[in-house]
Structure 1
Amino acid sequence: MKVALLGSGVMGSAVLSSFVRADGVTHVAVTDARAGHAREVAERHRGGAPVEVSGGDDNVAAVSGADVVVLAVKPQHVPALLAQVADAVGPDAIVVSIAAGVTCAAIEQALPAGTAVVRVMPNTPATIGQGVAAVSAGATASGDHLDLVELLLAGTGLVVRVPEEQQSVVTAISGSGPAYVFHLIDALAEAGTAGGLPRALALRLAAATVAGSGAYAQTSGEHPALLREAVSSPAGTTLAALEVLDDRAVRAAYGAAVRAAARRADELAAPPGGRA
């Protein structure tokens, strides 16, 4: 199976790491407007797997004969890229987009009728295999198409299926979510530094606490409210801190932030002159 990866930025490189380990992949052709960069990315992923990885800037050549075509460029560059490669997309190829806010319908309109399109919202922790990717089927994408995309993305972390109309909320939670978590880590570290800890130690403590708590929440099977209660001794330090967070309406602020991000995602997905 040949995969064409059009775009080799942060997310393109992250999914490439998964592609070269996926069963059935024999060749990944990586392209970028910066041909030298694409070749460097390809070189880093050669070896360790029976997969040929090539790099360059010829999108049409990469797409020709590809079983899967992955759009990993910035959203504003997708229309021009599709116009360039549409005629080279094979009738049985799957086109996978990881470009935020670009709908399946918009991609389908630029491709030969009946082309299977799958939309994916990944996030940056995919770079270390601990990301989240939500996949949605376009009009003609089947369960088998989604199975294949999930197989290709398995090395990036958690992969879930959602209806495309839920992609804006997914973007607001897991797509933008790492920034909220980094914001929290930075705030905790700053507070630790203000309390007298060396800055480097405060940052290590904050990052490790967030990482460990997230892993614990994911593996324990308990509702996070119960996990929170287990840490909160009567009249203890944790309850004193949580009272401040409740007084400052931090929970409500997170809800408002997610709603704002989802609205913005909807705006980005809307075609000029109207909604999709």
Structure 2
Amino acid sequence: MTDETQWLGQRFEDHRAHLTAVAYRMLGSASEADDAVQQAWLRLDRADTAGVRNLRNWLTAVVAHICLDILRARKARREELVGALPADLPIVPADTVDPEQEAVMADSVGLALLVVLDTLTPAERLTFVLHDLFDLPYAELAPILGRTPAAAAQLAVRARRRVRGTSIVDTDRSIADERAVVDAFLMAAHAGDFDALIAVLDPNVELHADGVAVPSGQPVRMHGARRVTASALMFSARARHTRPALIDGHVGLVVAPNGILDCLLAFTITDHRITTIDIIADPQRLATISLAVPDMTQLPRPEA
């Protein structure tokens, strides 16, 4: 290894954490993020960087290009796989990364945010991640997308609305009230607290689960607080993979181990109690649902 290559390699390592953070938020997969960063190093090693004034931004743009290509290829594969289903349908990537590493990274980004980002187009996702999460100016985003800065700004507005759920939230309802009830349900389920679950459920609560959500493959219907509570306690092991999200404008729960969508829990809430729980795992149903992050102020900001 030449002194120049060694020097360049050290400068690259100085930015590796930042590049990995960008790639993971773009791709939602630790193994794909690592591959994208490694490809960026190979391009850097072959490139003439004599005229590069800001290596961090240059590398960010390279990683963004690589991630955009991966997202577009992923979307094309989905169209082939799901046929008539919407191409936005989240699917599980075939990763071989350490599950613990994936879980830590997913939690640092926000499980619900990862799932919502997966519903954006590749261009929307890149624009939202680089501008809203990493503060990259539109003027630097535009060349990556092959668009004008104004067009990039419009993409960001559209992505931001979809992530926030601005277009689907009923302003006459109190999202905060729903969030309090759903948080209480999740906390009680996670703790395995029977009495706390009973307190948040209507005595005549109904639970519906589609066949995909149930090991037997048969849909389930259940009535009564005590029966539903018993089922919710069985859910406690998965509660750590669960986060609040807006489901068609109402506060519900996203179950996403390692940031990969498994199922949704949609609630009907009346007088501060849950009257119905709908567990949705069927891909065709999931594809028709609008998801958003309930509180943008709670989005984790990247440290690198």
**Structure possessing the higher relative contact order (Cα contacts under 8 Å, 6 or more residues apart):** 2
Using the size of structure 2 for normalisation, the TM-score is 0.25
| TM-score of the superposed pair, with normalisation by structure 1 | 0.27
